[in-house]
Amino acid sequence: MKWLKNIFKGKEAKGETIILRLPEIESWLMERQKNSGFEDNLQKIYRHIEEVAGELTIDVKSLSSAQPNEATPPKLLRAGLAARGEIVKQMESLTEKLIPPRQRDIESAAAHHWTLVKGLERTVTTYGKAQRYVAALFPKIVESINSDMTLVSRQLVELEKEIDKQRKELEEIWYSKELVAGLSEELSSIDELERRVKEYEEKLAVILAASSARETELKVLAASDEGKRTVELKKNLEEKREELAQAKDEMVDLIAPLTKALSRIMKQGSSDRLNLQHGDVFMQLSKSPSKVQDLDVSSSLEELRSHLASLGLKDRKKEKTLDHIDHLLSKKSLQKAKSRRVALEDEIKGLEAHLTQSSGKALHLRDELNRGKKNIQSLQVVLDQIRENLAVLKEKASRDESELNERLAKLTNKSIEIDLSRGK
């Protein structure tokens, strides 16, 4: 039945641009919801439905009391009267359902619409089967009822349109409120992140300027007399350290020819085969010759020389060892090497003390510069993360603003411009 499928569509009207500030949108939406015109439109539809219901009631009463033509064939008469009873019953039921609810809210309207749709479907089914028999008996009344039914279907379509329109508007208002709340929070977060970006940029600028100043001071210091003295001290210190390393190697070389003899005399001393006076000194000579006292060097070498024949060395090795001991005793090579090493160590300590004093300012500047670099790296990492978060949030806010603009435009059928200024 075509009258059940008719939907009347309105046309969107274009108008001037509406400018809305974000903090005002929620109250604007509430005011729009309050003054949507839904109740007035609903009241108008209900008034028409009541009018149709009144006409239908009159026609149904007329049908119920109407007398058929006496010339009607008996078979048709019986069928028509039986069908009239069914139609009257269904129409009376439909008339009761046409009574509008007291409330003028969308929930009540939707429930009323649903009841009417189901009632109308049942009525149409019964009416469609019976109306040809009844029309044969009471053609004018049936024609009037058909007109009433058409009006009912039209009002039903109007009611459905109004409910659907209100639902869509309420949905748009709800989503718009959610977007306003989300966008307000996002803008607040954007302000906070921008404040933090500025704060960290200022901190970074201060530390960069300080680091640049430290670098300049270091360059000036390096070019000064003090800086040149420090460079010279470093050079001297490196030279003395090289000499010390050579002195240590020299002592190792002087002891190396005695290694086997020292090892054997210590073993025999530990096994009580020999009663040694300088057992501890032999141990020091093999491990740390620089720690042996000068007086102990000669006496320990003399004792080693006296026991050389009993150490079981081969003749050639024994002769070489004996010659080397005589050389060490006559030339006092170990004592001289040790003295040279001690002198170098003392000199190095002195140079290190002077260098520490001379390069104190430069070390302090370098420490500050290193700390500055670490702070710069840390600040840069934090700043990059804040900027990344800010970019993501701005993109989200832009999408929400665009969606809010579209939803508000749907509500008004006008161009909408949202003012996001925050009183800056």
Q: What is the pLDDT of residue 8?
A: 28
Please tell me the total number of residues recorded for the chain in this structure: 424
Distances (CA, A) of 50 to 4, 56, 149: 19, 10, 13
Whole-angstrom Cα distance, residue 7 to residue 158?
8
Residue 275 DSSP one-character state: -
pLDDT at 29 over 50: yes
Ordered by where they begin, the domains of the chain are 32-175 (1.20.120), 246-358 (no CATH)
| Closest among 228, 239, 235 to 362, alpha carbons compared | 228
Helix (H) or strand (E) holding 170: helix 139-223
Q: How many CB atoms lie within 10 A of CB 301?
A: 21
**Running DSSP on this structure, what letter comes out for residue 21?**
E
pLDDT digits (tens, 9 = 90+) for 401-424: 898 888 888 888 788 888 887 654
Structure token pair of residue 212: 């640049």
Is the pLDDT at 381 greater than 70? The verdict is yes
Rounded CA-CA distance 424/420 in Å is 11
**Among candidates 332, 325, 338, 242, which has minimal Cα distance to 290?**
338
Please report how many Cα atoms fall inside a 13 Å half-sphere around the Cα of residue 268, on the Cβ side.
19
Of residues 215 and 374, more confidence is placed in: 374
Average pLDDT of 63-81? 84
In the chain, the percentage of residues whose pLDDT exceeds 70 is 92
d(CA 298, CA 320) in angstroms, rounded, equals 18
How open is the CA angle 116-121-123, to the nearest 5 degrees? 90
CA of residue 238 relative to chain centroid, distance: 53
Reported as half-sphere exposure (CB side, CA atoms, 13 A), residue 248 has a value of 10
Most confident of 62-66, 352-356, 395-399: 395-399
Measure the CA–CA gap between 192 and 393, rounded to whole angstroms.
11
Rounded-to-integer distance, Cα 205 and Cα 411, Å = 49
Q: How does DSSP assign 178-209, residue by residue? A: HHHHHHHHHHHHHHHHHHHHHHHHHHHHHHHH
Task: Assign 77 a pLDDT band (cuts: 50, 70, 90).
Answer: confident
pLDDT at 357: 67
Q: What is the pLDDT of residues 138-180, one digit of tens each?
A: 889 888 888 888 898 898 899 889 888 888 888 888 888 899 8
pTM flag (> 0.85): no
